[in-house]
Amino acid sequence: MAESAEPELSIEDIEFLTIVRDVSDNPDEYDGTELGEAPATVTVITDNTSLSKSQVKYRLNSESDAGNSRGFTEDQLGYIESYGASMTEKGWGPRSCEITEKGREAVDGVTENSTLSLSTSEGVVQLGVDGTYRGTSGGY
């Protein structure tokens, strides 16, 4: 069996890529998106996910950032385009990123094909990773 060249995505990875995709697609729906070169800034991502600032920076970092990188940037897996802080009239702006087509494919493939089963008194509820209801089976 051949090994996949793509890494397995953790729940945190999926959460990160999903918010970057959503912010990239609809920046006006999120506060603070006008501050960076791309709408998905560290602050926007941390404000709209359960991820800490260090978890976000780990996913934004490139290979050249002292080896502390998840490998999502254009010089590695190519899931995101990452932008360093840029100088603004108020000082340094935030780091930001946007999702690439390859990143969209990675997160869409996971969220479309994955389910989570939760046992309830009504039976087992099947949910997609994206929260969509996929049915109930059995019961106690």
Mean pLDDT taken over the chain? 78
Stretch 128-132: mean pLDDT, rounded?
51
Domain-embedded: residue 125: no
What's the mean pLDDT in 94-121? Answer: 76
Residue 127 lies in a domain: no
- Whether residue 43 is contained in a domain is answered as yes
| Token code pair at residue 107 | 């997160």
CATH number at residue 24: 1.10.10
Residue 138 lies in a domain: no
Q: Which residue has better confidence, 33 or 80?
A: 80
Q: What is the mean pLDDT of residues 52-66?
A: 83
Distance CA 101, CA 21 (A): 10
Amino acid at the residue 6: E
Domain that holds residue 84: 11-115
- Counting the structural domains of the chain, the total is 1
Choose among 63, 65, 29, 64: nearest CA to 47. 29
| Mean pLDDT, residues 94-100 taken together | 91
127 within 8 A of 116, measured Cβ to Cβ: yes
The Cα 90–Cα 88 span in angstroms is: 5
pLDDT at 120: 54
| Residue 85 falls inside a structural domain | yes
In a domain, 45, yes or no: yes
Is residue 3 one of the residues assigned to a domain? Answer: no
- Residue 97 reports pLDDT greater than 80: yes
Mean pLDDT computed over 71-81: 91
Better pLDDT: 133 or 97 = 97
Is the pLDDT score of 5 beyond 70?
Answer: no
Cα 132 to the center of its chain, rounded Å: 18
Tell me how far apart the alpha carbons of residues 76 and 111 are, in angstroms, rounded to a whole number: 22
Residue 134 lies in a domain: no
Dihedral sign from CA coordinates of 59, 53, 116, 109? negative
| Euclidean distance between CA atoms 62 and 84, whole angstroms | 10
Is residue 115 within a helix (H) or strand (E), and if so which, with residue range? strand 115-120
66 band by pLDDT with thresholds 50, 70 and 90: low
The pLDDT tens digits of the residues spanning 36-49 come to 668 899 999 999 99
